[in-house]
Amino acid sequence: MPRFAHLMVSSIAVLVALAMPAHAQEQVNVPVEQLDLQRYAGQWHEIAHLPMFWQRDCVGDITATYTPNPDGTVGVRNACRVKDGTTDVSEGVARPVDGKPGALEVRFAPEWLAWLPMTWADYWVVDLDPEYQWAIVGGPERENLWILSRQPEMNRALFERLKASAAMKGYNLRELKVMAPLR
């Protein structure tokens, strides 16, 4: 084997070996195994999110409020402040996914369209504080991500730890938008 080819093969082997430990540490992106919807209920403040069409006009004060319904579904009220200072509100409903306690499906389309599968979106709680003070919400495709807190701001060290957790689950955070103060 020519010396250049040998050097090239050796370099590639070293790069592969260096990359393997990071890949081996990647966590599986699955919903949490336990989610008490009564404890999860209430208001959450969005600390950060991956950009998505529905939030394009939001500039701050983003909240999600969850209210359990008698039929087992959860009322969802998302609100945010837009550029002109007014509040934009979207109301929907979430339903649990059988056999996956940390997975919900959420719908903001009118109820008469609820029979269409495409009106329901995945809402997976992929990481959750044992005291229900923060949560990371995503989905199977890793396209959506929200970092939520019970408080309207978050400790920077905690935020960095949650970002690292999301990255280890395979979420691409290059476009992550921080929407609340970090202290």
> How far apart (Å, rounded) are the C-alpha atoms in residues 77 and 158?
26
**What confidence category does residue 25 fall into, taking pLDDT thresholds of 50, 70 and 90?**
low
Exposure pattern of 33-48 as b/e (b: 16+ CB <10 Å)? Answer: eebeeeebeeebbbbb
Q: In the chain, what percentage of residues exceed pLDDT 70?
A: 86
- Where does the pLDDT of residue 9 fall: very low under 50, low under 70, confident under 90, or very high at 90 and above? very low
Please state, as a whole number, how many other Cβ atoms lie within 10 Å of the Cβ of residue 24. Answer: 7
Question: For the whole model, what pTM was predicted?
Answer: 0.84
Q: Which of 88, 89, 117, 121 is nearest to 103 (CA)?
A: 121
Q: Which helix (DSSP H) or strand (DSSP E) does residue 149 occupy?
A: strand 146-149
Instruction: List, in order, residues 6 or more apart from 55 with CB less than 8 Å away.
Output: 49, 62, 80
> pLDDT, tens digit, for every residue of 31-67?
999 999 999 999 999 999 999 888 999 999 999 999 9
Tell me how far apart the alpha carbons of residues 49 and 176 are, in angstroms, rounded to a whole number: 6
